[in-house]
Chains A and B, each alone.
Chain A
Amino acid sequence: MRIYVSSVFVDDQSKALDFYTRLLGFRVKNDVPVGEHRWLTVVSPEDPDGTELLLEPSDHPAVKPYKAALVEDGIPATSFQVDDIDSEYDRLVSLGVSFAREPMDAGPVRMAVLDDTCGNLVQLIQMKGA
């Protein structure tokens, strides 16, 4: 058994596609129309055959309160690993990405939290000494 896909609920798939590809730098892996929505997944260019991230529509009635409660408590919906969090932070800020928490040390990692503009907080992690 393998984990081939993980998902985040996004308020708007088109807006999410732009944010996750143009700004975060992921690539589209699957973009298949399914009814009024799409089966829309992205992958890291560093690992194109790796686990996909599904940009999943938020229209189930349970999703809105779930996302709002996570954001209220500052809890990221997902987490991505980077090699150099400070340069990634600078790059994303220069592209207009808004951060809820600038990079800071947290034990064995350095972490930051950004707003994906689609209703989620996203954590970036750099393993220290890596």
Chain B
Amino acid sequence: MNDDELDRVFKALGDPTRRRIIDRLRERPKQSLFEICALSFADDGAPLSRQAVTQHLDMLQKAGLVRVEWSGRTKLHTLDPGPLREAFGLWLRNHL
């Protein structure tokens, strides 16, 4: 992981909604956009617009934190904690 990739991980983490999406995907992998929006509203009472979630998922995906797979013609999102571990090993660990 180079500096740019590390930047993308920390930028992806630097937003409360994206951290919420990460928390949700850890609890339940393989969610469609519809499920991410419906479940976050059901559980937190805070509605997330689909456009906003789409953009957040895009940033998470570019940081390697979310993987996309297809189930038939539906796109499903799953958390990949790999880049978090790498960010920990590369930098965070030095200060803990």
Contacts and interface: CB of A to CB of B under 8 A. Distances in A.
Nearest to A98: B72
Contact of B33 (A74, A76, A106): A74
A63 interface: no
A109 B34 CA distance: 15
B2 interface: no
Contacts of A76: 34
Interface string B17-61: 000000000000001111100110111010000100000000000
A115 interface: yes
A121 B38 CA distance: 15
Interface residues of B, number: 18
A109 B42 CA distance: 9
Contact count band on A: 10 to 19
Contacts of A109: 42
Q: Which 4 A-B pairs have the closest CB atoms?
A: A74-B32, A107-B42, A74-B34, A106-B42
Given A72-B73, A74-B74, 7 more contacts: A68-B73, A73-B33, A74-B76, A75-B33, A76-B34, A106-B42, A111-B38
A106 B35 CA distance: 9
Nearest to B54: A73
B63 to A, nearest CB: 21
A106 B34 contact: no
Nearest to B30: A101
Interface in A88-103: 100-101
Contacts of B35: 74, 101
26 contacts: A68-B73, A71-B72, A71-B73, A71-B74, A72-B74, A73-B32, A73-B34, A73-B50, A73-B75, A74-B32, A74-B75, A75-B34, A100-B32, A100-B71, A101-B32, A106-B38, A106-B39, A106-B43, A107-B41, A107-B42, A107-B45, A108-B42, A111-B38, A113-B34, A115-B72, A121-B74
